[in-house]
């Protein structure tokens, strides 16, 4: 596609349920990133993929959060046993390469609300 695509655009879930968020990066982009943007907060880095491997998972807030990437393309961010503090906009970005000074292009985000 022309840009980074994320689905769903909105997700409301009950506390304690698991959710999966999907990111389809720009074709040919080998690097993929997940960020979280909470109300009134800046963008918080979660995880970085280069191809299918994740050399930097330092931003994942707890072991309830996990992510995978398959075929060097689509990525899924999974949050288990969701809590209210997980409510935020989850943004995915991709770039041509992970190293070097290349810009990242963002998707529209998934707004997650945990009730």
Residues that bind another protein in the complex, under the rule CB under 8 A: 4, 31, 33, 35, 41-45, 48, 50, 55-56, 59, 91, 93, 95, 97-109
Judged by CB, which is closer to another protein: 19, or 31?
31
Evaluate the omega torsion of the peptide bond into residue 2 and state whether it is cis, within 30 degrees of 0.
Answer: no
Q: How far is CA 95 from CA 14, 83, 92, 98, in A?
A: 33, 31, 11, 7
Q: How far is the CB of 104 from another protein (least distance, A)?
A: 7
Q: Find the farthest-apart pair of alpha carbons in the chain and give their distance in angstroms, rounded.
A: 41
Q: How far is the CB of 6 from another protein (least distance, A)?
A: 8
Judged by CB, which is closer to another protein: 14, or 39?
39
């Amino acid at each position: 596609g022309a840009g980074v695509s994320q689905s769903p655009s909105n997700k409301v879930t009950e506390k304690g349920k698991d959710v999966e968020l999907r990111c389809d990066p720009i074709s040919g982009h080998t690097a993929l990133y997940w960020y979280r943007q909470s109300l009134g907060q800046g963008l918080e880095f979660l995880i970085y993929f280069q191809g299918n491997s994740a050399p930097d998972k330092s931003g994942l807030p707890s072991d309830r959060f996990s992510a995978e990437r398959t075929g060097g393309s689509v990525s899924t961010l999974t949050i288990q046993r969701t809590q209210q503090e997980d409510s935020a906009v989850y943004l995915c970005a991709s770039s041509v390469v992970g190293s070097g000074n290349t810009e990242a292009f963002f998707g529209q985000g998934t707004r997650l609300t945990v009730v």
